[in-house]
Amino acid sequence: MITHQLLRPESIVVVGASNNVHKPGGAILKNLISGGYRGELRAVNPKEQEVQGVPSFASAEEIPDTDLAILAIPAQLCPDVVETLASQKQTKAFIILSAGFGEETHEGALLEDRILEIVNKYGASLIGPNCIGLMNTWHHSVFSQPIPQLNPKGVDLISSSGATAVFILESAVTKGLQFNSVWSVGNAKQIGVEDVLAYMDENYDPEKDSNLKLLYIESIGDPDRLLFHAASLIKKGCKIAAIKAGSSESGSRAASSHTGAIASSDSAVEALFRKAGIVRCYSREELTTVGCVFTLPELRGKNFAIITHAGGPGVMLTDALSKGGLNVPRLSGAAAEELKSKLFPGASVGNPIDILATGTPEHLKLCIDYCEEEFENIDAMMAIFGTPGLVTMFDMYDVLDEKMRTCRKPIFPILPSINTAGAEVAAFLEKGHVNFADEVTLGTALSRIVNAPQPANNEIELFGVDVPRIRRIIDSVPEDGYISPHHVQSLLQAAGIPVVEEFVSSKKEDVLAFGRRCGFPVVAKVVGPVHKSDVGGVVLNIKGEEHLALEFDRMMQIPDATAIMVQPMLKGTELFIGAKYEQKFGHVVLCGLGGIFVEVLKDVSSGLAPLSYEEAYSMIHSLRAYKIIQGTRGQKGVNEDKFAEIIVRLSTLLRFATEIKEMDINPLLATETDVIAVDARIRIEK
Amino acid sequence: MITHQLLRPESIVVVGASNNVHKPGGAILKNLISGGYRGELRAVNPKEQEVQGVPSFASAEEIPDTDLAILAIPAQLCPDVVETLASQKQTKAFIILSAGFGEETHEGALLEDRILEIVNKYGASLIGPNCIGLMNTWHHSVFSQPIPQLNPKGVDLISSSGATAVFILESAVTKGLQFNSVWSVGNAKQIGVEDVLAYMDENYDPEKDSNLKLLYIESIGDPDRLLFHAASLIKKGCKIAAIKAGSSESGSRAASSHTGAIASSDSAVEALFRKAGIVRCYSREELTTVGCVFTLPELRGKNFAIITHAGGPGVMLTDALSKGGLNVPRLSGAAAEELKSKLFPGASVGNPIDILATGTPEHLKLCIDYCEEEFENIDAMMAIFGTPGLVTMFDMYDVLDEKMRTCRKPIFPILPSINTAGAEVAAFLEKGHVNFADEVTLGTALSRIVNAPQPANNEIELFGVDVPRIRRIIDSVPEDGYISPHHVQSLLQAAGIPVVEEFVSSKKEDVLAFGRRCGFPVVAKVVGPVHKSDVGGVVLNIKGEEHLALEFDRMMQIPDATAIMVQPMLKGTELFIGAKYEQKFGHVVLCGLGGIFVEVLKDVSSGLAPLSYEEAYSMIHSLRAYKIIQGTRGQKGVNEDKFAEIIVRLSTLLRFATEIKEMDINPLLATETDVIAVDARIRIEK
């Protein structure tokens, strides 16, 4: 529960306030004071009359009513103080910095439980315990450094880990990134990352609130809430980027050991971020670079002009953009020639536009104007301007500042001379701008943003899916485990997924009759033995009745054989769809090409059920082997629409059959006209 | 030609020296003075008696003999000054800062030619023109900032581009990276990147010289020299990392437009770097991070311990290392338990080792000692230590400093609090250390280094390759273009590459007789038409004589058909080998799996002919689809040794048949026992 008093307290008490600014209770008071907090500040410290100039009280009982209390006292003292303040002093918000709770011992966990009970009873907010605090434009209630520039249009940072938040800020302040708020949720006893996001969503005011959010998440406790509110915020115009630490197997082990939570699979995280429209990052450097890009005007296309007075970085940036699927189109024609004639001899305008080392601020202005007004195949500009130190860069950066404020097209400032032009860069940042010191880091971050999908809509695609029939089939399955081929086929049919026709019988005459009816060649498989291939129980490409009769006789001799299953032999490109149920996330659906693409190249993309058509297409398009689906070099492609349709329908099926814990359709055979499921396994747990 | 006077001049004259330090002629003199140059400094400036306290002469004619001359005067004045100094003043080294030469106009190019003629005549060195200069521990002859810490064991930076060198230094000084020398070769009229490397190689003294080199290259003018000297230096114990700008198609266009040189293909660059053992980087940030890693003791294995007092960065680093093929092994057992018992409650030692936010320098020392002495499955340590600002980090970093000086195992310092602990980080860097501010950037750089191959040996594998026969065949080919199937087959056989047996005839009886002899099924292809498949000229899997006879009759009716070619129908995994001749580089050999792996997934690796077995294996192992070659999930692998052998033999063939401009063997069919070329094309130009 996030109360008004947590965000905009009229009064704050620091319990355990100290004159020693090397202690949390001293540092936080110092930050509050130097942050210009305008409400009433109070301290509780039995040994002092005044702490850092703030009136001090001997105990919590003695203070006047106070909105927000910050506790920097030993863990075991916290519950009583919280009780006193909540019950007697109208305190509706608590930030508990102290460690020594559930993260350390069982006794600590019990203390935490008691505190939670009290704050919930009195309708108060609780941040922490074991956190660095919360800072926003109203109050700097953190004990840590650095304090970034705070600004209502800066980014909101919400972090599972206090130390990581601090280090993210280190990386951010160097770039000039400003913040609206920084939340370190610590043990997140009452308020976790999802809760902060939910509050921001439910109270979102596009006029007043920041629309930029950065998240650092160590474990996703409530994926549904995270998904719902992240997607909702993004649909309202917000931009969200996040690190989910623990994306590798070892990293996941490390994260679990750090947080004590069960790790979620990386494909589940990937699927959730895709569905929500969150830009996924893997390092602090990447997260803050993406945050800086967020602060610039929205990109309207993928075509960039690079304006520079140094060739090398322009080339490296061109490489990075191209690799990320972005373009640095050649500039030519009358306008380009005209621009060239206004620059120094030797300057080039082909893109990158190189005004030479001797290029002037006036030249930069001209280049920007041409990109803004004349070059229609340009959507945004990158300006790379450093210095070997002969002249100052103030004039050059003034041009950038002015143009960034007035141009419709975004301009990305890349100012590499952070030492030599340190004063100029600092002055530029003070005007509220950001700086990308490394061009390739920017190029990579941009491609992450441009390639992130839009948030999905929340509707379930029901058309053609027979939900009552699905429920009847699931309910009729007698026991847990892999269900019979017959049930598998019925379920897929009920979801409107085309399944290869098949026939099972222990009677030779019936099997032969089916072969005649569906047409040869056919495939025959023994029913009964589990590892069919190992016992010679699968025969492909049976071309006539006589051959089928022979195979029937042979297969029925295999131990455990109860019947023979016959299917027409289809041809096509092998596709794959799989799904598994992951606790809290629901069904994660995977798709890809079959065979080695899944098994060796791990070329699969993931989505969270239920899936929309847009999501299914986005999953298909993000496969490395997508060109094979499109068709390439004389090979015909496959029917992408039908593949997407099957992915969507399967996800709907799963939504109404949560008993399915694991399934795959492998292969589906796809041609230009059809995609048909050939083999499938479904495991249920009721 | 690099003279002693360029590196260790006893006297330097700045022609065009100025009191205005905002001009190159002023800035370079200032840098020389503040760099503590100990030789004789002179200025040429007709208007002054003294420039910045240095005696000034009215013209070059009037100065005493001088070793090194720096020219900061208009381009058209340079040739005469160079002539005067070289002929009359014993000047054996020139650094020409001035622009306005070949990079701008034809007249400028003529000036450059004249200067080159003079310096060559007098045996003098020339750096530039159009450069920022050269700095080393002896003299700071650059007009640019920043000036990094110079140290004989620092890195050597050699850059095609002055501005890029400056920006690389910006990124380096922040990390504490120290330099032995920085070369900006400008127009490289006499001395280019390859020449500097050649000099370093030919004069390498392991006792005195730096063994660390960073290169920024815009065009590779002389690949053979680069390869030879880079590989030679690396074999002598050096480490080299390089950026070759222009790795994408657009980037390559940008680089050509910047340098005026013909772009080399990215696969040629990749092949050259692989052969030389150069670590390839793509950004300034990456290059300087790799440079910092180079300064640490050599890694002896891939197992890392992460020691930290903040969970989050440890998890992100674990992710980055794992993705790069490095390990963060779990620590357990008696030693781990013992270590845990000495830390605060709640600390974890599973790896990452988390000593908690309250962990002390003594705890850090303990952890390092255990990793150094007790944990045998640990090869190196990563220490992540920042601060929220409550206490200073001097003590913590003193422990790091001491342990880095005394431990056998490398310790990587990750100090994220570059603002809050700015003073502590600066003090740490002043002791000669580097700092990796972002853990993931370090993890990625490390994996680039660990995964870079060793330099190849230079021998040509001749065993089983019949060189005289290869020459006879090439010499007998009548004209340029694709050579006949018969010649292709003979060439491959002469190189000892197994080729599928094939038979060509226009006589039906002979064709049928061959089919009987080699055994059915066979493949038949029409000879004559170019696009065989399009006209129905390829039939696979012909199972008997009757079928072959029918196909013979049908195919001979195809327009332009002159004969029919018959091969036995082989089965196996399709492999691919290709090669093209690239100017200056020689033959670039590509290998991969056939079909979609090459055409769609672009999963190929490249090497420069001639190739050793080690190189061929390294090429094969770096394929994404390598697991298919190994065998996977019930699919048998293929004979990797024979694949490597064919790659090596083909590269030898190419080395003795440079007339081959383009060729591919596609497919080779590979089984567990054999790899056989099934189809090949060779294009020659004499």
Q: What is the DSSP string of A199-265?
A: HHHHT--TTTS--EEEEEES--S-HHHHHHHHHHHHHTT-EEEEEES--SHHHHHHHHHHH-SPPPP
CA distances from B501 to A197, B493, B562 (A): 69, 11, 20
Any A CB within 8 A of B92 CB: no
Q: Which residues contact B159 (CB under 8 A, 6 or more apart)?
A: A312, B165, B168, B182, B183, B184, B185, B193, B215, B216
- Under an 8 A CB cutoff, do B311 and A420 touch? no
- For testing contact with chain A, the best of B18, B283, B535 (most A CBs within 10 A): B283
Size of interface A-B (CB pairs under 8 A): 319
Rounded to whole angstroms, the Cα distance separating B74 from B108 reads 11
Residues of A in contact with B103 (CB under 8 A): 346
CA distances from B38 to B8, B11, B41, B52 (A): 10, 9, 8, 16
CA distance B57 to chain A (A): 24
- Under an 8 A CB cutoff, do A312 and B628 touch? no
**Least CB-CB distance to B170: which of A245, A320, A386?**
A386
Any A CB within 8 A of B493 CB: no
Residue B125 DSSP SS3: strand
Which band of pLDDT confidence, cut at 50, 70 and 90, is reported for residue A265?
confident
Does a cis peptide bond (omega within 30 degrees of 0) precede residue B206? no
Q: What is the DSSP string of A63-111?
A: SPP-SEEEE-S-GGGHHHHHHHHHHHS---EEEE----STTT-HHHHHH
Is the pLDDT score of A262 beyond 70?
A: no
**Least CB-CB distance to B283: which of A171, A316, A354?**
A316
Any A CB within 8 A of B596 CB: yes
Any B CB within 8 A of A98 CB: no
Any B CB within 8 A of A22 CB: yes
What tens digit of pLDDT does each residue of B298-332 get? 999 999 999 999 889 999 999 999 999 999 999 99
Any A CB within 8 A of B259 CB: yes
Any A CB within 8 A of B348 CB: yes
Rounded to whole angstroms, the Cα distance separating A10 from A138 reads 10
Rounded average pLDDT over A626-636? 83
Rounded average pLDDT over A333-345? 95
What ipTM was assigned to the predicted interfaces of this complex? 0.92
Question: What pLDDT does B258 receive?
Answer: 61
Chain B residue with the nearest C-alpha to that of A166: B388
Residues 25-84 on A with a CB inside 8 Å of B are 27
CA distance A464 to chain B (A): 35
Residues of B in contact with A438 (CB under 8 A): 171, 283-285
Match domain B573-684 to its CATH number in 2.50.20.20, 3.30.470.20, 3.50.50.60, 3.40.50.2300. 3.30.470.20
Residues of A in contact with B624 (CB under 8 A): 601
CA distance B102 to chain A (A): 10
Is the pLDDT score of A632 beyond 80?
A: no
Rounded percentage of chain B residues whose pLDDT exceeds 90? 85
Is the pLDDT score of A221 beyond 70?
A: yes
Any A CB within 8 A of B534 CB: no
Rounded to whole angstroms, the Cα distance separating A432 from A427 reads 9
What tens digit of pLDDT does each residue of A512-560 get? 999 999 889 999 999 888 777 778 888 888 999 999 999 999 999 999 9
Chain A residue with the nearest C-alpha to that of B159: A312
Nearest partner of A309 among B643, B164, B617, judged by Cα: B164
**Least CB-CB distance to B254: which of A314, A390, A627?**
A314
Rounded to whole angstroms, the Cα distance separating A244 from A269 reads 8
Question: What pLDDT does A263 receive?
Answer: 64
Residues of A in contact with B108 (CB under 8 A): none
What tens digit of pLDDT does each residue of A150-176 get? 999 999 999 999 999 999 999 999 999
What tens digit of pLDDT does each residue of A502-520 get? 899 999 999 999 999 988 9
Residue whose structure tokens are 């492609």 = A637
Residues of A in contact with B167 (CB under 8 A): 310, 312-313, 386, 416-417
Chain A residue with the nearest C-alpha to that of B161: A312
Cβ atoms within 10 Å of B486's Cβ, excluding its own: 11
Phi/psi of residue B222, each to 5°? -135, 80
Rounded percentage of chain A residues whose pLDDT exceeds 90? 85
Which band of pLDDT confidence, cut at 50, 70 and 90, is reported for residue B536?
confident
Per CATH, the homologous superfamily of domain A146-294 is Succinyl-CoA synthetase domains (3.40.50.261)
Any A CB within 8 A of B424 CB: no
Looking at A185-189, A630-634, B315-319, which range is the least confident one? Answer: A630-634
- Under an 8 A CB cutoff, do A440 and B144 touch? no
Strands A586-593 and A563-568: unpaired
The CATH topology of domain B4-136 is Rossmann fold (3.40.50)
**Least CB-CB distance to B170: which of A255, A346, A420?**
A420
Chain A residue with the nearest C-alpha to that of B315: A251
Which band of pLDDT confidence, cut at 50, 70 and 90, is reported for residue B595?
confident
- Under an 8 A CB cutoff, do B632 and A243 touch? no
- For testing contact with chain B, the best of A281, A319, A390, A425 (most B CBs within 10 A): A319
Q: How is chain A split into domains, by residue range?
A: 4-135, 146-294, 304-451, 501-568, 573-684
Question: What pLDDT does A529 receive?
Answer: 85
Looking at A452-466, A613-627, B6-20, which range is the least confident one? Answer: A452-466
Any A CB within 8 A of B455 CB: no
- Under an 8 A CB cutoff, do B311 and A633 touch? no
- Under an 8 A CB cutoff, do B144 and A348 touch? no
CATH code linked to domain B501-569: 3.30.1490.20
N- to C-terminal Cα separation, chain A: 35
Rounded to whole angstroms, the Cα distance separating A646 from A653 reads 10
Any A CB within 8 A of B149 CB: no
Is the pLDDT score of A135 beyond 80?
A: yes
Q: Which CATH architecture has domain A304-451?
A: 3-Layer(aba) Sandwich (3.40)
The CATH topology of domain B310-451 is Rossmann fold (3.40.50)
Which band of pLDDT confidence, cut at 50, 70 and 90, is reported for residue A257?
low
Is the pLDDT score of B530 beyond 80?
A: no
SS (H, E, C) A475-487: HHCCCCEECCHHH
Give the mean pLDDT of chain A.
94
More confident residue, A146 or A252: A146
Rounded to whole angstroms, the Cα distance separating A381 from A374 reads 13
CA distances from B521 to A471, B525, B569 (A): 52, 14, 6
Any A CB within 8 A of B486 CB: no
- Under an 8 A CB cutoff, do B320 and A283 touch? yes
Chain A residue with the nearest C-alpha to that of B146: A420
Is the pLDDT score of A633 beyond 70?
A: no
Any B CB within 8 A of A446 CB: no
Is the pLDDT score of A258 beyond 70?
A: no
Rounded average pLDDT over A582-602? 88
Rounded percentage of chain B residues whose pLDDT exceeds 70? 99
Any A CB within 8 A of B156 CB: no
Residues of B in contact with A174 (CB under 8 A): 418-419
List strand residue ranges (DSSP E) for A451-572, in order.
481-482, 503-505, 522-527, 538-542, 563-568
Which band of pLDDT confidence, cut at 50, 70 and 90, is reported for residue B457?
confident
**Least CB-CB distance to A388: which of B145, B419, B600?**
B145
Give the mean pLDDT of chain B.
94
Rounded average pLDDT over B411-422? 97
What tens digit of pLDDT does each residue of A92-108 get? 999 999 999 998 889 99
Would the CATH topology of B146-294 be identical to that of B573-684? no
> Within 13 A of A97's CA, how many CA atoms are on the CB side?
26
CA distance A55 to chain B (A): 23
**Domain A501-568 - what CATH class?**
alpha beta
Is the pLDDT score of B262 beyond 70?
A: no
CA distance B273 to chain A (A): 18
Is the pLDDT score of B259 beyond 70?
A: no
Residues of B in contact with A636 (CB under 8 A): none
Any B CB within 8 A of A311 CB: yes
Strands A503-505 and A563-568: antiparallel
Any A CB within 8 A of B315 CB: yes
CA distance A517 to chain B (A): 28
- Under an 8 A CB cutoff, do B283 and A441 touch? yes
Rounded to whole angstroms, the Cα distance separating A441 from B525 reads 52
Question: What pLDDT does B257 receive?
Answer: 67
- Residue pair B49/B56 in contact (Cβ under 8 Å)? The answer is yes
Residues of B in contact with A218 (CB under 8 A): 311-312, 315
